[in-house]
Chains A and B, each alone.
Chain A
Amino acid sequence: EDQVTQSPEALRLQEGESSSLNCSYTVSGLRGLFWYRQDPGKGPEFLFTLYSAGEEKEKERLKATLTKKESFLHITAPKPEDSATYLCAVQDGQNFVFGPGTRLSVLP
């Protein structure tokens, strides 16, 4: 059975304090790993897709990396506007499974 877990469940950072979020997955055949950002009361917003181990994608202060069993979302020098819940999801064939998310708070 496909599984996606995310850690930590919640993370509180000071502005400028870099850190990483983890997404671990168990799938039989990974076709893609996706990162989304979700603000309270809104739908998820697409950030990145990673397809193979070793791949990296960057967008502003965010960088996503992928290994055979996990993905990391690195946040460099975060700002308060980066506060949100970050979701990862994996695609295995027709199946698309989301993790529960990491709730990030960046304090000024």
Chain B
Amino acid sequence: NAGVTQTPKFQVLKTGQSMTLQCAQDMNHEYMSWYRQDPGMGLRLIHYSVGAGITDQGEVPNGYNVSRSTTEDFPLRLLSAAPSQTSVYFCASSPRQGNGYTFGSGTRLTVV
């Protein structure tokens, strides 16, 4: 069982570039979410999905888009990267909202 797989592990972008962070899980979990982690601020929820075809905004959604066309995949799109989006991004999944999450290993993104 791979659990939650995130790619890439590291990425450097120039301001204004766009990219997609990939997240895939093989546990048939309905609930998936994206967090960013910044020093001293804790994990902050960007977007989440309670099932295929359903997404909603979290605490810090601006500058990010998501879609959920399958149960397994939940990509996060940065539309026009800004230095403020430099962070470590984690994807997480659970059988349903309110269960303990399984997290991926993270993507470290630097925007210059």
Report A's interface with B, CB cutoff 8 A. 4, 31-32, 34, 36, 41-49, 87, 89, 91, 94-101
Q: Is B65 an interface residue (CB 8 A)?
A: no
> Which residues of A have CB within 8 Å of B42?
4, 87, 97-101
> Which residues of A have CB within 8 Å of B82?
none
> Which residues of B have CB within 8 Å of A31?
98
How many A-B residue pairs have C-beta atoms within 8 angstroms? Tell me: 52
A42-B106, A43-B90, A43-B105 known; A100+B100 contact, CB < 8 A:
no
A43-B90, A91-B98 known; A96+B45 contact, CB < 8 A:
yes
Residues in B15-46 with C-beta less than 8 Å from chain A: 33, 35, 40-45
Cα(A71)–Cα(B35), bound, Å? 23
> Which residues of A have CB within 8 Å of B59?
95
- Nearest-CB distance from B96 to chain A (Å)? 12
Q: Is B74 an interface residue (CB 8 A)?
A: no
A42-B106, A43-B90, A44-B90 known; A98+B101 contact, CB < 8 A:
no
> Which residues of A have CB within 8 Å of B98?
31-32, 91
Cα(A28)–Cα(B65), bound, Å? 29
Please give me the residue from chain A that is nearest to B3 by CB atom. A43
> Which residues of A have CB within 8 Å of B33?
96
Q: Are B41 and A45 in contact (CB under 8 A)?
A: no
What are the interface flags for B76-98 relative to A under an 8 Å C-beta threshold, 1 for contact and 0 otherwise? 00000000000000101000011
Q: Are A44 and B105 in contact (CB under 8 A)?
A: no
Please give me the residue from chain A that is nearest to B33 by CB atom. A96
> Which residues of A have CB within 8 Å of B43?
44, 87, 89, 98
Cα(A99)–Cα(B42), bound, Å? 5
Cα(A31)–Cα(B101), bound, Å? 15
